[in-house]
């Protein structure tokens, strides 16, 4: 990219490393940023750095948060005896948007995938098992209905069954291979309400 100055080329190169941003979008974003007031770009850059530096995993549910205990885990109105297991923080957000789930979550940050070499030790399962030593009435497995999501659900249910804790799986109103975050709230609620004991 010799036809751009080195600063512009560098910005384009960095932006094109972002997921879903191709060479063309990176150029468009770069020129957009350059055209904005410098304070506005500072605000964006600061938000990125600050989020990266301060966001961590919730001590309990493992979701991404900037406090030791996330707002859901530290809310006394939530029922800590009902734990919904999701693959990532975006899925948690999708269920939170429905406003109908009053329990707490456990975020795995991935799913078991023998094909990609992702095993149970590569996701936050240990942390879930530890939590089950407390008072838990039900674990709702809300992993995606993809092969990986189903594999993970089976694995977790086999782990939990011997403890006597009720294990349920959300109904398969969720399209196969569908990401929970892209599914509308009505479908999510139906999947939650129609959950079946495993």
| In the complex, least distance from residue 58 CB atom to Zn ion, rounded to whole angstroms | 3
Residues 162-191, mask of contacts with Zn ion (x by CB under 5 A): ------------------------------
Residues 96-155 that bind Zn ion (CB under 5 A): none
Q: H/E element holding 166? A: strand 166-169
| In the complex, least distance from residue 57 CB atom to Zn ion, rounded to whole angstroms | 9
**Token couple for 183:** 């599914």
Nearer to Zn ion, 42 or 97 (CB): 97
Query: Does the CA dihedral 139-110-159-150 come out positive or negative?
Result: positive
| In the complex, least distance from residue 180 CB atom to Zn ion, rounded to whole angstroms | 18
| In the complex, least distance from residue 78 CB atom to Zn ion, rounded to whole angstroms | 10
Helix (H, G, I), strand (E, B) or coil at 85: strand
CA gap 119, 89 in Å, rounded: 20
Q: H/E element holding 93? A: helix 89-98
| In the complex, least distance from residue 102 CB atom to Zn ion, rounded to whole angstroms | 14
Nearer to Zn ion, 12 or 140 (CB): 140
Q: What is the Cβ-side half-sphere exposure of residue 64, based on CA atoms within 13 angstroms?
A: 12
**What secondary structure, in 3-state letters, does 32-63 show?**
HHHHCCHHHHHHHHHHHHHHHHHCEECCCCCC
Residues 39-98 that bind Zn ion (CB under 5 A): 58, 60-61, 70, 73
Nearer to Zn ion, 106 or 169 (CB): 106
Nearer to Zn ion, 40 or 79 (CB): 79
Q: Interface with Zn ion by CB under 5 A: which residues?
A: 58, 60-61, 70, 73
């Amino acid at each position: 990219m010799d036809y751009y100055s080195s600063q512009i080329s560098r910005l384009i190169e960095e932006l094109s490393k972002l997921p879903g941003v191709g060479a063309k979008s990176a150029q468009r974003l770069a020129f957009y940023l350059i055209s904005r007031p410098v304070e506005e770009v500072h605000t964006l850059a600061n938000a990125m750095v600050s989020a990266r530096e301060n966001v961590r995993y919730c001590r309990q549910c493992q979701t991404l948060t900037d406090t030791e205990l996330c707002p859901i885990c530290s809310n006394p109105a939530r029922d800590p005896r009902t734990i919904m297991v999701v693959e990532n923080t975006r899925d948690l957000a999708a269920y939170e948007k429905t406003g109908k789930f009053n329990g707490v979550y456990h975020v795995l940050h991935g799913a078991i995938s023998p094909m990609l070499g992702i095993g149970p030790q590569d996701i936050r399962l240990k942390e879930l098992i530890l939590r089950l030593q407390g008072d838990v009435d039900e674990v709702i497995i809300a992993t995606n209905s993809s092969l990986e999501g189903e594999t993970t659900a089976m694995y977790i249910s086999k782990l939990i069954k011997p403890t006597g804790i009720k294990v349920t799986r959300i109904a398969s109103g969720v399209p196969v291979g569908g990401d929970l975050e892209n599914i509308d709230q009505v479908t999510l609620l139906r999947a939650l309400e129609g959950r079946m004991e495993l």
